Chain A
Amino acid sequence: MTNISIPEIDIDTNRSHEPEDWRRFFGFSTDHKVIGIQYIVTAFFFFLVGGVFAMIIRGELLTPESDLVDRTVYNAMFTMHGTVMLFLWTFPVLAGLANYLVPLMIGARDMAFPRLNAIAFWMIPIFGIVLIGSFLVPGGPAQSGWWSYPPVSLQNPSGNLINGQFLWLLAIVLSGISSILGAINIVTTIFRMRAPGMTWFRMPVFVWAVLSAQIIQLFGLPALTAGAVLLLCDLVAGTSFYDPAKGGDPVLFQHFFWFYSHPAVYVIILPVFGIFSELFPVYARKPLFGYKVVAVSSLIITGLSAVVWVHHMFASGTPGWMRMLFMFTTMLISVPTGIKVFAWVGTIWGGKLRLDTPMLFAMGGLVMFVFSGITGIMLAAVPVDIHVNNTYFVVGHFHYVIYGATVMGIYAALYHWFPKMTGRMYNEGLGKLHFALTFLGTNLNFFPMHPLGLQGMPRRVASYDPEFAFWNVIASLGGFLLGMSTLPFLVNIVGSWVQGKKVSANPWRAIGLEWLIASPPPHENFEELPIVVAEPYGYGMNEPLVSNADKL
């Protein structure tokens, strides 16, 4: 409903007649807010599942010997850990936040395709079951890591057609379809459903970031799907696309895989950048520094993300010119990223900081992101990468990004919008405890991986040389702490949802369309479509955001 305001025909008073009870969360609802919460809760369940796998991995690594689980089980554990955490936790939880927030932030009543939205969501539990179900097939789950590089992934020791690797591929393809449907929906919504007056440069940065991230899904996932189909043919039909013994080219799979999976890290981090950009202005009471630049740099990152993937393949027999080229492009991507970091620091700088839980998580996430950005630049340098490729240094790098920045950013968002989603306030004390445990646990768990990698400890091993024991023990203890850290969160969220203090429409005194309507927002969000008259983040400027605030 772009740019047309139709107040005369909008006299629709009996909205919000839909049953507002908890049962709608368990059915085929087409309300984007219900679907958003369904995404988030489902994803959190899988976060816990993936966390159990992580506990087993860290338990095994507590001692140098392989003594806790069988090596094949260990392989399955890290494979399933990575796959579950990415495809069943990070992507869905971010899709959930986008689903919940984007229509509210652009002043729409729902997504462009509500039914498609529900279908995309319900595919998640389905492929989750397919993936987890691989524990029940003979030979157990896939063991070739979340990359599934051939020829390792082509081995089929059990000889069954339905094996762990097969189910893994099936789950990935289903996940891809679900994500593409979601991406089509979100992109269409952002392009075509903005409220009157909501021009591109009045959109909150979170919306820009989600748009950029979903565009990546649209061009990246099909490439992964193509690569996965070839792998599936090799595995099931006996073709020789990737089988070097029969003339195939295993490195081609790596290209397919990273052509998507590198950009995928931006699918993950861009919405988190969006979250940072939303939260810092609220808790520093200042406009976002350099709003337009921050908004556009998301799109620049999207463009660049498509031309850096070979930095994961520096050691895959890659020719010299390719190494140089991709080293250069990878370093280039830190420019728009660095700009954003400066903008956030500039926003926080000299502000009246309010250190509530969301702000703590956002600031902690920012610090962790800067650290991982530095290790990322190190890895982008070919001479360094040749040395630490496939060691724990890489594992340290990406866990700082994915736990340190992304999970912390997601927690920040969940606390920040919890009052909006539920109409109740969370418990601040438990929130702060949660932050302290998470921050400590993340650093204890993932910092030791850097020295380990530099000393040469390879990743994906169940046993290691005793000289690596010191840092591994610390990492494992940190890991267990991190496992514990989800408890105060769970207690807090469940408890506060049931009996937290009721809140007003705008407990944070934040500026944004979603804060102009009741908490939780009514079905179809807005009584009358908002007419936006100002840029976002007008903190301290005393200008109205919409011209019809009293009619929403």
Chain B
Amino acid sequence: MINTSEIDNSIESAAQNIAHHDESDNRMFGFIIFLLSESVVFLGFFIGYYVYKTNAVDWLPAGVSGLEIREPAINTVILVSSSFVIYIAERCLRQQNLWGFRFFWLLTMLMGSYFLYGQIIEWQGLKFGFTSGLFGGTFYLLTGFHGLHVLTGVLLQSLMLIRSFIPGNYDKGEFGVEATSLFWHFVDVIWIILFLLLYVWQ
């Protein structure tokens, strides 16, 4: 916003501070708008799921009596707790405790990866596929689309972890970390709704 060519040094850094601060605020604002918009895609899928489930003639594919809930429930607990862990990581960063940040951040990543692993194991054990009627279609669509978001989250997290090793990089707080963490909470909330719709409401 502010051009910083050869101007007096102190003035320049003052201007930079304001510009930097302002810009990261803008980015957070924009990112929140993005997440709101993104949530409408999920909302659309949820409504589609609801309509299909309440109207379909043959809902469950032949030979399928419902979904196993135990493993997914464990998975859910892990994903939901990772939201608290990432919060601790963020707090560490705010207190300039870089190693604490890295520890809890990595823990979040591991929990997210475990969730993805559990998801794949679940898929492999199922007797129906993506094209098995409306049930199969919506199930794989919802879990797959959500899983893609978890994967994105983990990738973003590894990027932020790597960037924490650049000296001084996170001294003034970091938009990328905050945004990743917000994204993670978002993915988490979506999963809770999804879990209720798919597994609890059978």
A interface residues (Cβ-Cβ under 8 A, vs B): 1, 4, 6, 8-12, 14-15, 109-110, 112-113, 180, 183-185, 187-188, 191-193, 218-219, 221-223, 225-227, 229-230, 233, 237-241, 246-249, 252, 256, 524
Cα of A9 to Cα of B52 in the assembled complex, Å: 60
Q: Contact check: which of B1, B2, B5, B37 meets A219 at CB < 8 Å? A: B37
- Please, could you name 24 A-B residue pairs with CB atoms under 8 Å apart, sorted by A? A1-B1, A1-B22, A4-B18, A9-B11, A9-B14, A183-B33, A184-B37, A187-B33, A188-B30, A192-B22, A192-B25, A218-B36, A223-B40, A225-B41, A226-B48, A230-B48, A238-B131, A239-B136, A239-B137, A241-B137, A241-B138, A247-B56, A248-B134, A252-B52
Could you tell me which residues of chain B, from 19 to 67, have a CB within 8 Å of some CB in chain A?
22, 25-27, 29-30, 33-34, 36-41, 43-45, 48, 51-52, 55-58
Residues of B within 8 A of A222 (CB): 37-41, 43-44
Q: Take A226-B41, A247-B56 as given contacts and tell me if A9 and B15 are in contact as well, using a CB distance cutoff of 8 Å.
A: yes
Cα of A118 to Cα of B6 in the assembled complex, Å: 27
Interface size on B, residues (CB 8 A): 45
Verify if B7 is at the interface (C-beta below 8 Å from A): yes
Q: Are A247 and B58 in contact (CB under 8 A)?
A: yes
Q: Take A1-B1, A237-B130 as given contacts and tell me if A112 and B30 are in contact as well, using a CB distance cutoff of 8 Å.
A: yes
Verify if B110 is at the interface (C-beta below 8 Å from A): no
Cα of A12 to Cα of B4 in the assembled complex, Å: 7
Minimum CB–CB distance for A188 against chain B, Å? 4
Verify if B133 is at the interface (C-beta below 8 Å from A): yes
Could you tell me which residues of chain B, from 90 to 112, have a CB within 8 Å of some CB in chain A?
none
Residues of B within 8 A of A218 (CB): 33, 36-37, 40
Cα of A239 to Cα of B132 in the assembled complex, Å: 7
Cα of A295 to Cα of B134 in the assembled complex, Å: 45
Q: Contact check: which of A112, A193, A237, A252 meets B48 at CB < 8 Å? A: A252
Residues of A within 8 A of B202 (CB): none
Cα of A191 to Cα of B33 in the assembled complex, Å: 12
Cα of A233 to Cα of B45 in the assembled complex, Å: 13
Q: Are A247 and B131 in contact (CB under 8 A)?
A: no
Q: Contact check: which of A15, A184, A185, A233 meets B137 at CB < 8 Å? A: A233
Residues of A within 8 A of B38 (CB): 222
Q: Take A12-B5, A180-B37 as given contacts and tell me if A241 and B133 are in contact as well, using a CB distance cutoff of 8 Å.
A: no
Residues of A within 8 A of B27 (CB): 113
Cα of A15 to Cα of B3 in the assembled complex, Å: 7
Q: Are B26 and A188 in contact (CB under 8 A)?
A: yes
Query: How many residue-residue contacts, CB under 8 A, span A and B?
Result: 123
Candidate in B30, B58, B145 with the most chain A CB atoms within 10 angstroms: B30
**Which 7 A/B pairs are nearest by Cβ-Cβ distance?**
A226-B44, A222-B40, A239-B137, A222-B41, A9-B15, A188-B30, A218-B37
Minimum CB–CB distance for B65 against chain A, Å? 18
Verify if B141 is at the interface (C-beta below 8 Å from A): yes
B interface residues (Cβ-Cβ under 8 A, vs A): 1-7, 11-12, 14-15, 18, 22, 25-27, 29-30, 33-34, 36-41, 43-45, 48, 51-52, 55-58, 130-131, 133-134, 136-138, 141, 145
Minimum CB–CB distance for A543 against chain B, Å? 29
Cα of A303 to Cα of B66 in the assembled complex, Å: 40
Q: Are B30 and A184 in contact (CB under 8 A)?
A: yes
Closest to B31 in A: A184
Minimum CB–CB distance for B124 against chain A, Å? 18
Minimum CB–CB distance for B41 against chain A, Å? 4
Q: Take A12-B5, A222-B40 as given contacts and tell me if A185 and B133 are in contact as well, using a CB distance cutoff of 8 Å.
A: no
Cα of A158 to Cα of B34 in the assembled complex, Å: 38
Minimum CB–CB distance for B43 against chain A, Å? 8
Q: Are A8 and B45 in contact (CB under 8 A)?
A: no
Residues of B within 8 A of A241 (CB): 48, 52, 134, 137-138
Cα of A230 to Cα of B41 in the assembled complex, Å: 11
Residues of B within 8 A of A1 (CB): 1, 18, 22
Residues of B within 8 A of A223 (CB): 40-41, 43-44
Cα of A227 to Cα of B86 in the assembled complex, Å: 33
Q: Contact check: which of B2, B25, B41 meets A12 at CB < 8 Å? A: B2
Minimum CB–CB distance for A289 against chain B, Å? 33
Q: Take A184-B37, A187-B33, A241-B48 as given contacts and tell me if A11 and B7 are in contact as well, using a CB distance cutoff of 8 Å.
A: yes
Q: Are A11 and B11 in contact (CB under 8 A)?
A: yes
Residues of B within 8 A of A10 (CB): 2, 15
Cα of A237 to Cα of B144 in the assembled complex, Å: 14
Candidate in A192, A219, A226 with the most chain B CB atoms within 10 angstroms: A226
Cα of A160 to Cα of B56 in the assembled complex, Å: 30
Q: Take A184-B37, A222-B37, A248-B134 as given contacts and tell me if A192 and B48 are in contact as well, using a CB distance cutoff of 8 Å.
A: no
Minimum CB–CB distance for A123 against chain B, Å? 16
Candidate in B33, B51, B138, B141 with the most chain A CB atoms within 10 angstroms: B33
Minimum CB–CB distance for B143 against chain A, Å? 14
Residues of B within 8 A of A252 (CB): 48, 51-52
Residues of B within 8 A of A12 (CB): 2-5, 7
Q: Are B133 and A192 in contact (CB under 8 A)?
A: no
Cα of A399 to Cα of B4 in the assembled complex, Å: 49
Cα of A1 to Cα of B30 in the assembled complex, Å: 15
Q: Are B41 and A240 in contact (CB under 8 A)?
A: no
Closest to B48 in A: A252
Closest to B38 in A: A222
Closest to A214 in B: B33
Cα of A102 to Cα of B143 in the assembled complex, Å: 40
Minimum CB–CB distance for B123 against chain A, Å? 15
Q: Are B37 and A221 in contact (CB under 8 A)?
A: yes
Closest to A16 in B: B3
Cα of A458 to Cα of B58 in the assembled complex, Å: 36
Candidate in B4, B7, B41 with the most chain A CB atoms within 10 angstroms: B41
Q: Are B18 and A191 in contact (CB under 8 A)?
A: no
Residues of A within 8 A of B131 (CB): 237-240
Closest to A222 in B: B40
Closest to A188 in B: B30
Cα of A9 to Cα of B7 in the assembled complex, Å: 9
